[in-house]
């Protein structure tokens, strides 16, 4: 396996346990980012925040996929 021990440990934890806390944390982060995007961000910051939302969305999909894989 090419993954580090820490990465492998995280993957095993996702496969063997509930991912609800991970998904809740991602959802909270996305809510905060969207609020910042809508209320406070300059045009340059909006681009960065949109990229962060995309990254979190991809991470959420990865967590879901890993938790389903046994």
Q: Where are the domains of the chain?
A: 41-70
Query: Residue 45 has which token pair?
Result: 């910051």
Question: Percent helix, strand, coil in the chain (nearest 5)?
Answer: 85, 0, 15
Q: How far apart are the C-alpha atoms of 51 and 31, rounded to whole Å? A: 14
**From the CA atom positions of the chain, what is the Rg in Å?**
15
- The predicted model scores a pTM of 0.72
Give pLDDT tens digits for 1-44: 567 888 788 778 877 777 888 888 999 999 999 999 999 899 99
Greater confidence (64 vs 50) lies with 50
């Amino acid at each position: 396996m090419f993954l580090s021990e820490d990465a492998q440990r995280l993957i095993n934890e996702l496969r063997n346990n509930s991912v609800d806390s991970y998904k809740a944390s991602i959802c909270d982060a996305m809510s905060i980012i969207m609020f910042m995007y809508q209320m406070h961000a300059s045009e340059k910051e909006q681009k960065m925040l949109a990229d962060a939302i995309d990254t979190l969305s991809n991470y959420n999909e990865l967590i879901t996929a890993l938790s389903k894989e046994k």
